[in-house]
C-alpha cells in the first residue's frame, strides 16, 4: 500500500508555484539547483510510507489476532492472511483519508474537486453530507463488527440457554465472557495510563509570574469591521466581546499593508523608510540593520520573549528581533519545493496535517492550505505555559488562516457558504494571481470563506484567552488584539488582497484593541487617528520600560485614559511589491512596470539556504515606483509616480470611501497642501532627494 501511495504521489508532482505563480523557468531552476534535494525528500517520504505501512500491518495483525482468538480458529493460509491484512490496512487508510478530506478539503481539492467527474462528486458529497463524527462512528462500528462478530454465535447460544433455564454454568457463554473480561483489563490499564499522563501534563498555575506580561494576538488580514459591526457577531463573537472589554482604536492604520514590513513597523515604532524593510524579500543586509525592536528591548530588560505562528509568520525567522523562543514556519525556495513535494503526496496528508505531522514534516507548517487555528491555539498554549513559568514575558501569537487562500478547516469552511455554489473556489481562494474576473457568486462565496477563517480564529483565540485564566495570569497580562493589515474583498474598484494600492481603507485600517488589567482604563472607543508605529512605544510605557531613540510612533497611553488630545492629524502609507504585471485594483496606467516576482525580480541566495531576496538591480526601481499616501479625517492624497511624471490623486473619503473619483482639480488648494506634507514625509528617508515632483534615493549597493 505504501509503495502504491508513494508512486501515485511522485506521478502527481507536476507543478511548482508560490502565491499562484509557476513558470517553466521556475521548475527548471528547482530541478537544476535542488534536484538532489527533491530526490532526498522523496526518499524520506518513502521511508514514511513504509513506517506507516508497518504500523498499519501491526494494527491489522492485532485486530485479526483478536478476531481469530474469539473464533477459536487459526488465521488460515498465508494468502488468506495477507489478503485480510491488506483489507484491514486499506480500510484503516480509507478511514483516515475520508476523514481528512472532510476536515481539510483544501489539501485535496487539486486532486479531487479540480479534476471534475467522480472525484469532484465524491469530495462534494463528503464535505456536504458527512462529518468527522459520522466517519468516526462508521469506523468504530465496522472495526467492532470485524473483531467481535465471532462472539455472536456464543452470545446467541447463551441468550437461548438463559431463556430456557437461566445462565448456564457450563457451555459456550462463559469462555466468551472470559475473553471480554480479558480484553477489558488491558484496555482499563491503558485508559488509566492515559488519564495519568493527562493529569501529569495538565497546565499548572504560574504562581511565580508577577507580571507585567504582554501578549499580542494578531490575525493576518483581519478586517477591523469584523470586530465592530453587529452583522458579524456570528462570525467573531469572542473577538467582539473582547473588543468591548478593552480600549478599541477605531481609526488605526498600517503604514505598509504587507506582513514583513508591517510587523517590523509594529515592533520597532519606526516607519519602513527608517527601518529599511520595504517589501517581502529584503536582503540580509537590510534585515541586519533594521535596528532595535520591542522584543529585543524587553529581553534586555529581563522579559522572556516568544513568538508563535503558522505559515504567514515565517517572517519572524527571517529577521533578528530578539526572541528567546520561536515556533514559526520557514520560508525559502528550498522550502517551497519541499512543500510542493509533500502536497503531491495526498495520501500522506491525513497523517501530516496534524500537530504531530508538522513535527515529522516541518514544511507542513508553511502550507497555506493547512493553516488550522486550532493547531495554532495548541502551539500558543504550550508556549504560554512555558514562558509564564519563567517570569514576566512578551509574546506574539500570529494566526494566518484569514490570509488568502482563506483555508478554514471543518466546519468553518462551510459555516457561512452555500452548497449551491458550483464555482472554482468552493473550499478556498486558490490561484489568486492567475484568474479570470470573478462572478458575483464567486465574490459572495469568497467573502463567506473569509468569514469562515475569521470564525475559526475567533474560537481558537478564545481558547488562548481562557488559558490565561487557567495559568492564573489574566489579571497581570496586557493583551493586544490586532492585525498586520486588513483585506480588500472585491469592494467597488478595490479588487482583492492588500498592499497593491492605497484606495479605500479596508486593507490599511487595522483592528486594534488594548486590554490592560493592570492600570484598568475604562473600556472605550477612541476615534483619534493612530498608526501601527504607535503600538511599540505604548506597550513599552505600559510595562514601565520606555523605548528610546528616534521613533515615528507616539504612546497612546493618554488616549487610553481618556485624553482628547490628538496624537496624529494625518497618517502616511505606501504600497508594497507588485507580484504581477496587472495587480488587482491597480490601473495599468497608474504604475511603473518591472518584472513580476518570483520570476525575474527575486533571486536565490544559495549561501543562506535558498532564501529569496529582491534582485539588487531592481531595489531602487521598486522603491521609486511605490505609491504613497497621506490620509486625514476627510481627505486622502495618493502620490503616483510614472515614467512621464508624477500624478497626485485626491479623494474625498466622506463622499467616496472607496476612492473611485479623483477630485484634485475641484480642490486644488487641498491637493497642494497635502502634497507638500506627503513630500516632506517621503523626504524623511535617509539619503532621499527631490527631483521635480519625484522623490528619489541614491542607489544602495545590496548583495544577496
Lowest mean pLDDT, pick from 29-33, 513-517, 644-648: 29-33
Q: What is the mean pLDDT of residues 208-216?
A: 93
Q: What is the pLDDT of residues 163-176, one digit of tens each?
A: 665 555 555 555 55
**pLDDT > 70? residue 378:** yes
- Please indicate, yes or no, whether residues 527 and 381 belong to a single structural domain of this protein: yes
Q: What is the pLDDT of residues 336-345, one digit of tens each?
A: 888 888 888 8
Q: What is the mean pLDDT of residues 601-609?
A: 81
Lowest mean pLDDT, pick from 142-156, 164-178, 364-378, 509-523: 164-178
**pLDDT > 80? residue 197:** no
Look up the CATH number of the domain holding residue 640: 3.30.1120.10
The pLDDT of residue 687 is: 84
Give the integer Cα–Cα distance in Å for 298 and 391: 13
The pLDDT of residue 692 is: 87
Q: Percent of the chain having pLDDT more than 70?
A: 84
Give the count of beta carbons closer than 10 Å to the beta carbon of residue 194. Answer: 10
Buried b (16+ CB within 10 A) or exposed e, 87-98: ebbebbbebbbb
Q: Are 166 and 159 in contact (CB under 8 A)?
A: no
Q: Which helix (H) or strand (E) holds 64?
A: helix 24-71
Give the integer Cα–Cα distance in Å for 218 and 279: 20
The pLDDT of residue 41 is: 79
The pLDDT of residue 222 is: 98
Tell me the three-class secondary structure of 675-700, residue by residue.
Answer: HHHHHHHHCCCCCCEEECCEEECCCC
Give the integer Cα–Cα distance in Å for 303 and 395: 10
Give the integer Cα–Cα distance in Å for 140 and 99: 13
Q: Which residues contact 687 (CB under 8 A, 6 or more apart)?
A: 697, 698, 700
Q: What is the mean pLDDT of residues 605-631?
A: 90
The confidence band for 26, taking pLDDT boundaries of 50, 70 and 90, is low
The mean pLDDT value of the chain amounts to 87
Where does a domain end: 201, 225, 246? 201
- Does the residue 580 lie in any domain? no
- Please indicate, yes or no, whether residues 290 and 415 belong to a single structural domain of this protein: yes
Grid cell of 29 as nine digits: 531552476
In angstroms, how far apart are the furthest CA atoms of the chain? 109
**pLDDT > 90? residue 193:** no
Grid cell of 71 as nine digits: 473464533
- Does the residue 294 lie in any domain? yes
- Please indicate, yes or no, whether residues 55 and 161 belong to a single structural domain of this protein: yes
Q: Which residues contact 282 (CB under 8 A, 6 or more apart)?
A: 260, 276, 319, 613, 614
- Does the residue 426 lie in any domain? yes
Q: What is the pLDDT of residues 102-126, one digit of tens each?
A: 999 999 998 999 999 999 999 999 9
- Please indicate, yes or no, whether residues 221 and 182 belong to a single structural domain of this protein: no
Q: What is the DSSP string of 504-542?
A: SSTTTEEPEEEE-TTT-PPPEEEEEEEEGGGHHHHHHHH
- Please indicate, yes or no, whether residues 499 and 615 belong to a single structural domain of this protein: no
Query: E strands along 439-570, which residues?
Result: 477-482, 488-491, 495-497, 509-510, 512-515, 524-531
DSSP conformational letter for 16: -
Q: Report the DSSP pairing between strands 602-605 and 611-614.
A: antiparallel
Buried b (16+ CB within 10 A) or exposed e, 603-633: bbbeeeebbbbbbbebbeebbebbbbbbbbe
- Does the residue 701 lie in any domain? no
Give 656: exposed, middle or buried? Use CB within 10 Å, 0-12, 13-18, 19+. middle
Q: Is 308 helix (H, G, I), strand (E, B) or coil?
A: strand
The pLDDT of residue 48 is: 87
Grid cell of 657 as nine digits: 470611501
Q: Is the dihedral of CA 510, 516, 519, 525 positive or negative?
A: positive
Q: Which of 348, 318, 351, 321 is nearest to 335 (CA)?
A: 318
- Does the residue 703 lie in any domain? no
Where does a domain end: 179, 201, 223? 201
Where does a domain end: 143, 176, 201? 201
**pLDDT > 50? residue 260:** yes
The confidence band for 532, taking pLDDT boundaries of 50, 70 and 90, is very high
Q: Are 690 and 683 in contact (CB under 8 A)?
A: yes
The confidence band for 19, taking pLDDT boundaries of 50, 70 and 90, is very low
Q: What is the mean pLDDT of residues 224-238?
A: 97
The confidence band for 28, taking pLDDT boundaries of 50, 70 and 90, is low
Give the integer Cα–Cα distance in Å for 484 and 258: 7
Grid cell of 290 as nine digits: 533594521
Give the count of beta carbons closer than 10 Å to the beta carbon of residue 167. Answer: 11
Lowest mean pLDDT, pick from 137-151, 512-526, 575-589: 137-151
DSSP conformational letter for 609: T
- Please indicate, yes or no, whether residues 437 and 457 belong to a single structural domain of this protein: yes
Tell me the three-class secondary structure of 321-368, residue by residue.
Answer: CCCCEEECCCCCHHHHHHHHHHHHCHHHHHHHCCHHHHHHCHHHHHCH
The pLDDT of residue 300 is: 97
- Which is higher by pLDDT, 336 or 382? 382
- Does the residue 478 lie in any domain? yes
Look up the domain containing 618 and give its range: 588-696
The pLDDT of residue 152 is: 65
**pLDDT > 90? residue 569:** yes
Give 564: exposed, middle or buried? Use CB within 10 Å, 0-12, 13-18, 19+. exposed
Lowest mean pLDDT, pick from 113-117, 272-276, 332-336: 332-336
Give the integer Cα–Cα distance in Å for 170 and 396: 68
- Please indicate, yes or no, whether residues 161 and 251 belong to a single structural domain of this protein: no
Grid cell of 21 as nine digits: 505563480
The pLDDT of residue 55 is: 87
- Which is higher by pLDDT, 700 or 133? 133
Residue recorded with cell 505604548: 538
Q: What is the DSSP string of 70-124?
A: HHTS----HHHHHHHHHHHHHHHHHHHHHHHHHH-GGGTTTTTGGG-HHHHHHHH
The pLDDT of residue 395 is: 98
Q: Are 639 and 628 in contact (CB under 8 A)?
A: yes
Q: What is the mean pLDDT of residues 363-389?
A: 95
The confidence band for 704, taking pLDDT boundaries of 50, 70 and 90, is very low
Q: Which of 304, 284, 293 is nearest to 264 (CA)?
A: 293
- Please indicate, yes or no, whether residues 332 and 390 belong to a single structural domain of this protein: yes
The confidence band for 275, taking pLDDT boundaries of 50, 70 and 90, is very high
Q: Is 138 helix (H, G, I), strand (E, B) or coil?
A: helix
The pLDDT of residue 33 is: 61
Residue 284 phi, psi (nearest 5): -65, -30
- Please indicate, yes or no, whether residues 434 and 553 belong to a single structural domain of this protein: yes
- Please indicate, yes or no, whether residues 310 and 400 belong to a single structural domain of this protein: yes
Question: What's the full length of the chain, in residues?
Answer: 704
**pLDDT > 90? residue 137:** yes
- Does the residue 600 lie in any domain? yes
The confidence band for 433, taking pLDDT boundaries of 50, 70 and 90, is very low
Give 533: exposed, middle or buried? Use CB within 10 Å, 0-12, 13-18, 19+. buried
- Please indicate, yes or no, whether residues 81 and 159 belong to a single structural domain of this protein: yes
Helix 173-201, helix 151-165: angle, nearest 10: 120
Q: What is the pLDDT of residues 29-74, one digit of tens each?
A: 666 666 677 777 778 888 888 888 888 888 888 878 777 776 666 6
Give the integer Cα–Cα distance in Å for 217 and 397: 5
Look up the CATH number of the domain holding residue 254: 3.40.720.10
Q: Report the DSSP pairing between strands 477-482 and 393-399.
A: unpaired
Q: How many domains are contained in the chain?
A: 3
Q: What is the mean pLDDT of residues 631-656?
A: 96
Give the integer Cα–Cα distance in Å for 587 and 494: 10
The pLDDT of residue 189 is: 63
Q: Which helix (H) or strand (E) holds 304?
A: strand 304-309
- Does the residue 452 lie in any domain? yes
- Which is higher by pLDDT, 282 or 198? 282
Q: What is the pLDDT of residues 584-598, one digit of tens each?
A: 889 889 999 898 876
- Please indicate, yes or no, whether residues 626 and 560 belong to a single structural domain of this protein: no
Amino acid at each position: 500500500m505504501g509503495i502504491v501511495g508513494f508512486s501515485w504521489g511522485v506521478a502527481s508532482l507536476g507543478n511548482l508555484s508560490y502565491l499562484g505563480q509557476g513558470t517553466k523557468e521556475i521548475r527548471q531552476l528547482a530541478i537544476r539547483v535542488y534536484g538532489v534535494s527533491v530526490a532526498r525528500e522523496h526518499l524520506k517520504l518513502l521511508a514514511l510510507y513504509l513506517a506507516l505501512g508497518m504500523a498499519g500491518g501491526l494494527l491489522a495483525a492485532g485486530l485479526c489476532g483478536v478476531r481469530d482468538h474469539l473464533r477459536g480458529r487459526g488465521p488460515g493460509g498465508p494468502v488468506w492472511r495477507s489478503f485480510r491484512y491488506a483489507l484491514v490496512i486499506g480500510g484503516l487508510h480509507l478511514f483516515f483519508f475520508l476523514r481528512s478530506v472532510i476536515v481539510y478539503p483544501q489539501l485535496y481539492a487539486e486532486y479531487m474537486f479540480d479534476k471534475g467527474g467522480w472525484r469532484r462528486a465524491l469530495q462534494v458529497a463528503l464535505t456536504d453530507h458527512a462529518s468527522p463524527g459520522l466517519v468516526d462512528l462508521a469506523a468504530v462500528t465496522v472495526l467492532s463488527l470485524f473483531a467481535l462478530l465471532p462472539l455472536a454465535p456464543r452470545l446467541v447460544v447463551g441468550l437461548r440457554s438463559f431463556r430456557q433455564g437461566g445462565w448456564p454454568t457450563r457451555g459456550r457463554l462463559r469462555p466468551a465472557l472470559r475473553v471480554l473480561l480479558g480484553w477489558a483489563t488491558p484496555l482499563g490499564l491503558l485508559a488509566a495510563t492515559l488519564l495519568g499522563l493527562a493529569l501529569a501534563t495538565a497546565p499548572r498555575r504560574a504562581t511565580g509570574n508577577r507580571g507585567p506580561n504582554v501578549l499580542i494576538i494578531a490575525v493576518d488580514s483581519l478586517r477591523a469591521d469584523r470586530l465592530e459591526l453587529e452583522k458579524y457577531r456570528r462570525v467573531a463573537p469572542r473577538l467582539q466581546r473582547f473588543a468591548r472589554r478593552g480600549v478599541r482604536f477605531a481609526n488605526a492604520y498600517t503604514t505598509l499593508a504587507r506582513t514583513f514590513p508591517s510587523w517590523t513597523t509594529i515592533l520597532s515604532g519606526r516607519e519602513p523608510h527608517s527601518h529599511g524593510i520595504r517589501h517581502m524579500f529584503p536582503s540580509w543586509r537590510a534585515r541586519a540593520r533594521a535596528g532595535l525592536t520591542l522584543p529585543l528591548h524587553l529581553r534586555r530588560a529581563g522579559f522572556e520573549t516568544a513568538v508563535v505562528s503558522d505559515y504567514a509568520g515565517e517572517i519572524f525567522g527571517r529577521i533578528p528581533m530578539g526572541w528567546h523562543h520561536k515556533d514559526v514556519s520557514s520560508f525559502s525556495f528550498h522550502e517551497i519545493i519541499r512543500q510542493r513535494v509533500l502536497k503531491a503526496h495526498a495520501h500522506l496528508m491525513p497523517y501530516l496535517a496534524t500537530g504531530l505531522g508538522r513535527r515529522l514534516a516541518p514544511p507542513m507548517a508553511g502550507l497555506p492550505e493547512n493553516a488550522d487555528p486550532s493547531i495554532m491555539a495548541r502551539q500558543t498554549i504550550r508556549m504560554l505555559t512555558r514562558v509564564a513559568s519563567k517570569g514576566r514575558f512578551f509574546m506574539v501569537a500570529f494566526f494566518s488562516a484569514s490570509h488568502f487562500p482563506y483555508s478554514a478547516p471543518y466546519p468553518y469552511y462551510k459555516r457561512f457558504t452555500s452548497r449551491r455554489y458550483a464555482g472554482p473556489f468552493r473550499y478556498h481562494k486558490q490561484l489568486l494571481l492567475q484568474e479570470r474576473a470573478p462572478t458575483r457568486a464567486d465574490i459572495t462565496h469568497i467573502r463567506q470563506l473569509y468569514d469562515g477563517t475569521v470564525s475559526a480564529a475567533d474560537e481558537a483565540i478564545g481558547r488562548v484567552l481562557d488559558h490565561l485564566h487557567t495559568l492564573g495570569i489574566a489579571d497581570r497580562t496586557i493583551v493586544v488584539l490586532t492585525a498586520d493589515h486588513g483585506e480588500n474583498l472585491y469592494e467597488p474598484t478595490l479588487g482583492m488582497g492588500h498592499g497593491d494600492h492605497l484606495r479605500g481603507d479596508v486593507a490599511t485600517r487595522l483592528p486594534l484593541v488594548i486590554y490592560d488589567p493592570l492600570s484598568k482604563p475604562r473600556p472605550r472607543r477612541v476615534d483619534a487617528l493612530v498608526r501601527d508605529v504607535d503600538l511599540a512605544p505604548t506597550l513599552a510605557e505600559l510595562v514601565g520600560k520606555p523605548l528610546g531613540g528616534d521613533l515615528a510612533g507616539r504612546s497612546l497611553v493618554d488616549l487610553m485614559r481618556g485624553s482628547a488630545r490628538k496624537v496624529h492629524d494625518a497618517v502616511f502609507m505606501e504600497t508594497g511589491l507588485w507580484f504581477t504585471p496587472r495587480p488587482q485594483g491597480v490601473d495599468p496606467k497608474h504604475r511603473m512596470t518591472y518584472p513580476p516576482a518570483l520570476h525575474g525580480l527575486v533571486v536565490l541566495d544559495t549561501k543562506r539556504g535558498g532564501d529569496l531576496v529582491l534582485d539588487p538591480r531592481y531595489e531602487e526601481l521598486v522603491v521609486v515606483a511605490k505609491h504613497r499616501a497621506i490620509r486625514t479625517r476627510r481627505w486622502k492624497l495618493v502620490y503616483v509616480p510614472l515614467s512621464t511624471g508624477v500624478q497626485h490623486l485626491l479623494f474625498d473619503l466622506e463622499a467616496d470611501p472607496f476612492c473611485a473619483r479623483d477630485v484634485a482639480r475641484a480642490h486644488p488648494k487641498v491637493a497642494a497642501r497635502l502634497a507638500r506634507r506627503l513630500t516632506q514625509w517621503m523626504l524623511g528617508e535617509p539619503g532621499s532627494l527631490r527631483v521635480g515632483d519625484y522623490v528619489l534615493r541614491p542607489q544602495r549597493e545590496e548583495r544577496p
